[in-house]
């Protein structure tokens, strides 16, 4: 989204302003048209600080228009949030040049904004234990027990290297060690408060990492199992697909993804209806997304997974201490083909 018109400014001239109150970064481009070369941009912030950014990264869209074959893009990530203006000027690095700047706002990801806001408000209203449980949908112990029971039912080796994407406040992490887990654990999430909560209640060898993009901070072929409980339920289909591609990367051949999802089925109807009502009222706290099995099959086919198994969310097939239980969300098990 363009927030400042393309401007042609002489040395030191103000060429634009940006509202970055909801932006993660400002992206733009600049080119010294007088000397026909790459340049730097001096950004003056209202707190009087000045930042110099090299405009040298690839911007093929602009390069084509200006007929230049070098990078002219830049991004600037302010280190504090809130509404303020940013002034672009050409500065000492380009004393006699002319600079053209377009500023664009890169929005923060919807899931980061939504979940960070939700968790902030829960921690303001409730005691930490309660807030950390509500943030991941409640029933902290019951669902944690169910998640570990599902892994055992699916034959997951308790010495595996597990990555728990969207681990939240550690519903699964806190149940692993008491169930004899001796493998390695990496949990990722977009909310630092939840990761801290999970870390404090897990063995010190467990690692947690904050992410904002659809990335997993792990090496290629380094994991046996990736668990994704109630995360694709809040992502757009394209985002789930991108995440699955990343999961494929970090899994060893024959490794598996165990993911939960909402599918269109009678037992899920109330969730869909509540989501529709909240959408209408403008009170939806985060996306609730339903996925058809066909979509999971197609994604798998394109990414190199075989769909090993679907379990319907109301199928009480998981043995637990309290008797056979259902997961409430449907489960897909995807195996990375060798």
Ligand X SMILES: C[S@@+](CC[C@H](N)C(=O)[O-])C[C@H]1O[C@@H](n2cnc3c(N)ncnc32)[C@H](O)[C@@H]1O
Q: Which residues of the chain form contacts with ligand X (CB under 6 A)? A: 111, 115, 136-137, 165-168, 171, 188-191, 194, 211, 214, 229-231, 234-235
Nearer to ligand X, 39 or 160 (CB): 160
Q: How far is the CB of 101 from ligand X (least distance, A)?
A: 31
Q: How far is the CB of 195 from ligand X (least distance, A)?
A: 9
Nearer to ligand X, 76 or 115 (CB): 115
Q: How far is the CB of 260 from ligand X (least distance, A)?
A: 8
Nearer to ligand X, 92 or 212 (CB): 212
Q: How far is the CB of 253 from ligand X (least distance, A)?
A: 24
Quick one: which of 263, 277, 278 has its CA closest to 313?
Answer: 263
Q: How far is the CB of 62 from ligand X (least distance, A)?
A: 30
How many C-beta neighbours within 10 Å does residue 171 have?
A: 26
**Separation of alpha carbons 312 and 105, rounded Å:** 41
The whole-angstrom distance between residue 234's C-alpha and the CA centroid of its chain comes to 10
Q: What is the dihedral of CA 88, 92, 97, 103, to 10 degrees?
A: -20
DSSP per-residue codes, 76-105: E--SS-SS---EEE--TTSTT--EEEEEEE
Residue 10 tokens, joined: 């002489």
The burial class, CB within 10 Å (0-12 / 13-18 / 19+), for 72 is: buried
Nearer to ligand X, 72 or 231 (CB): 231
Query: For residue 94, what are the contacts with CB-CB under 8 A and spacing of at least 6?
Result: 11, 32, 35, 39, 40
Nearer to ligand X, 20 or 214 (CB): 214
Q: What is the DSSP letter of 57?
A: B
Nearer to ligand X, 41 or 247 (CB): 247
Answer whether 229's CB lies under 8 Å from 166's CB: yes
Q: How far is the CB of 315 from ligand X (least distance, A)?
A: 18
Nearer to ligand X, 74 or 248 (CB): 248
- Going from the C-alpha of 175 to that of each of 66, 153, 202, 237, the distances in angstroms are 58, 15, 9, 29
Q: How far is the CB of 228 from ligand X (least distance, A)?
A: 7
């Amino acid at each position: 989204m363009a927030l400042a018109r393309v401007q042609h400014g002489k040395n030191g001239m103000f060429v634009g302003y940006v509202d970055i109150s909801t932006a993660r970064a400002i992206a733009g481009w600049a080119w010294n048209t007088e000397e026909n070369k790459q340049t730097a941009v001096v950004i003056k912030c209202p707190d009087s600080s000045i930042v110099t950014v090299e405009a040298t990264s690839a911007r093929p869209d602009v390069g084509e228009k200006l007929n230049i074959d070098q990078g002219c893009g830049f991004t600037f990530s302010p280190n504090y949030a809130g509404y303020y203006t940013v002034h672009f000027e050409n500065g000492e690095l380009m004393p006699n040049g002319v600079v053209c700047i377009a500023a664009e706002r890169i929005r923060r990801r919807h899931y980061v904004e939504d979940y960070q806001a939700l968790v902030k408000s829960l921690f303001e209203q409730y005691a930490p234990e309660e807030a950390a449980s509500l943030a991941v949908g409640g029933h902290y112990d019951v669902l944690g027990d169910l998640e570990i029971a599902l892994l055992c039912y699916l034959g997951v080796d308790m010495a595996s290297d597990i990555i728990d994407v969207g681990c939240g406040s550690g519903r699964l992490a806190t149940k692993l060690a008491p169930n004899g887990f001796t493998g390695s654990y990496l949990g990722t999430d977009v909310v630092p408060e939840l990761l801290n909560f999970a870390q404090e209640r897990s063995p010190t060898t467990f690692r947690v990492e904050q992410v904002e993009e659809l990335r997993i901070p792990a090496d290629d072929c380094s994991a046996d199992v990736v668990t994704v409980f109630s995360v694709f339920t809040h992502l757009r289909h394209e985002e789930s697909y991108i995440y699955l591609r990343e999961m494929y990367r970090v899994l060893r051949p024959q490794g598996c993804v165990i993911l939960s999802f909402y599918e269109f089925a009678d037992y899920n109807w109330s969730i869909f209806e509540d989501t529709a009502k909240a959408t209408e009222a403008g009170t939806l706290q985060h996306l609730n997304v339903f996925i058809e099995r066909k979509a999971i099959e197609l994604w798998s086919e394109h990414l190199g997974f075989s769909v090993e198994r679907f379990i319907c969310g109301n199928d009480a097939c998981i043995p637990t201490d309290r008797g056979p239980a259902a997961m409430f969300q449907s489960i897909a098990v995807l195996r990375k083909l060798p």
